[in-house]
Amino acid sequence: MNKTPRIVEYRNIGSMSYQSAWDYQTELFDGVIAEKIRLRKEERTDVVPPNYMLICEHPPVYTIGKSGKMENLLLTEPQLKERGIEFFKINRGGDITFHGPGQIVGYPILDLDQFFTDVHKYLRFLEEGVIRTLAEYGIVAGRLEGLTGVWIDENDPEKARKICAMGIKSSRWVTMHGLAFNVNTDLGYFNNIVPCGIDDKAVTSMQKELGRQVDRDEVIQKLLAHYTQLFDWTLKNEAT
């Protein structure tokens, strides 16, 4: 494992359209890969490519991954337009999900060669950070076997409900896309899709579980603290 300190630039990019955030992610992702290739060609071992942790929220949008099925979107194009909801086919794994106000959307752009080259472990760490954050609010959460993401009542098939969806892309061990954590999310938007292609499970939020609005900024700070512990990184604030 690389002994160089793991520095991650933290950028809270606020509320941003999905397309703009996707373009921004792609620019950073491509830049990390290009730098990684350059350093290897030059046989440099004294420096490493940069890492980033982007946090944002989006106006209402549905996105569907490479393996997603269009029948899991229950609205027509005119209906989407009428409701002011965007829709994108994107290059992450997973099926259809919703992003909107009140969510924490996290996009880690990490060179896993600096951490561990194991995508499954990476996803488990993303889940674990959310699980530990929820525990601070008295919400017991866990994993559902065979399904990515974080769930409440995961051991009860009748009650299991997802509170955080995940989908990533990786190339040359560099990651992009990430997680969508429902904090104060309007869950009505999920009625227009079959979330993650799973038609027999509900979706929930911290607000619904606790019966009150939650300070989203506070949740972000707790989540980042848990990721800092899990990934053993040093988070560095950068102006966007």
Q: How far apart are the first and last CA of the chain?
A: 30
pLDDT given at position 212: 98
Is 56 an annotated catalytic residue? Answer: no
pLDDT given at position 224: 98
- C-alpha pair distances (Å), 110 with each of 32, 122, 238: 8, 10, 16
Residue in the block written with tokens 């051991």: 155
pLDDT given at position 221: 98
pLDDT given at position 198: 61
Which one of the listed residues 196, 203, 219, 223 is annotated catalytic?
196
Helices (H), the chain: 18-41, 77-83, 119-135, 206-210, 216-231
| Domains of the chain with CATH codes | 7-237 (3.30.930.10)
> What residues of the chain score a pLDDT lower than 50?
1-2, 239-240
- Letter for the amino acid at 160? A
pLDDT given at position 60: 96
